[in-house]
Amino acid sequence: MTTIHPVDVLMTEHRTIERVLAAVEARLADSAGGPFPYEFMTQALDFFRNFADGCHHAKEEELLFPLLEQRGIPREYGPIGCMLKEHVQGRNYLAVVRANLDAARDGSPEAVTAVCSAATGYIGMLRRHIYKEDNVLFQMAIRALSPDDVTELSAGFVAPGNPRLSPQVRERYARLAEALCAAPITA
């Protein structure tokens, strides 16, 4: 059985995340001046909080980054520290979206503006973040990780003891991503 390199798993997840980012961007542009897309944004928030952050970032923060530090890639003043700060920044954007969703649904112009501003900030930040991971940190990881490290990470990425990484969670969010990307772009 061939093991898929953990970096390839993460990069595949990046492509899914990017597709959902594009769907959110299109939906927000389409709904400007019209009804707020509450249900769509609630589902997108679920995807970003529980898949992009809860599953994808968990693999990085709990498994990949600590191993890379052991292999000599610095955290402080290095690429890992930068990525971790951006994970926190993303969580902050999502917290603003979450805090304003109900008021946006109820018609508050301030809440709609807050959701759109935070979502737009999140989209731009996460796109840049993904680019840096794909083209800098993950390339360093490919060079730094031994075959044993690859095996260890691959096993950790599907560890049954971590419910956030279970096949059921991954499948649920793959289906949600497809639904969000397929949703018609009319409010």
pLDDT of residue 187: 45
Q: Which domains does the chain have, with CATH numbers?
A: 6-182 (1.20.120.520)
**Rounded mean pLDDT of 125-152?**
96
Other C-beta atoms lying within 10 Å of the C-beta of residue 172: 16
CB distance 173 to 50 below 8 Å: yes
Measured CA distances, 139 to 71, 87, 133, 176 (Å): 14, 19, 8, 29
Q: Fill in the amino acid letter for 89.
A: Q
- Residue with the larger pLDDT of the pair 66 and 163: 66
CB distance 63 to 145 below 8 Å: no
Instruction: Supply φ then ψ for residue 159, to 5 degrees.
Output: -55, 125
pLDDT of residue 162: 75
Q: Which of 35-39, 114-118, 157-161 has the lowest mean pLDDT?
A: 157-161
Question: Does residue 173 surpass a pLDDT of 90?
Answer: yes
SS3 state of residue 16: helix
DSSP state of 4: P
pLDDT of residue 2: 60
**Rounded mean pLDDT of 40-61?**
95
pLDDT tens for 142-156 read 999 999 999 999 999
What residue spans of the chain are helical by DSSP H?
6-31, 38-47, 58, 65-70, 79-105, 109-132, 138-144, 147-157, 167-182
DSSP state of 33: T
SS3 state of residue 78: coil
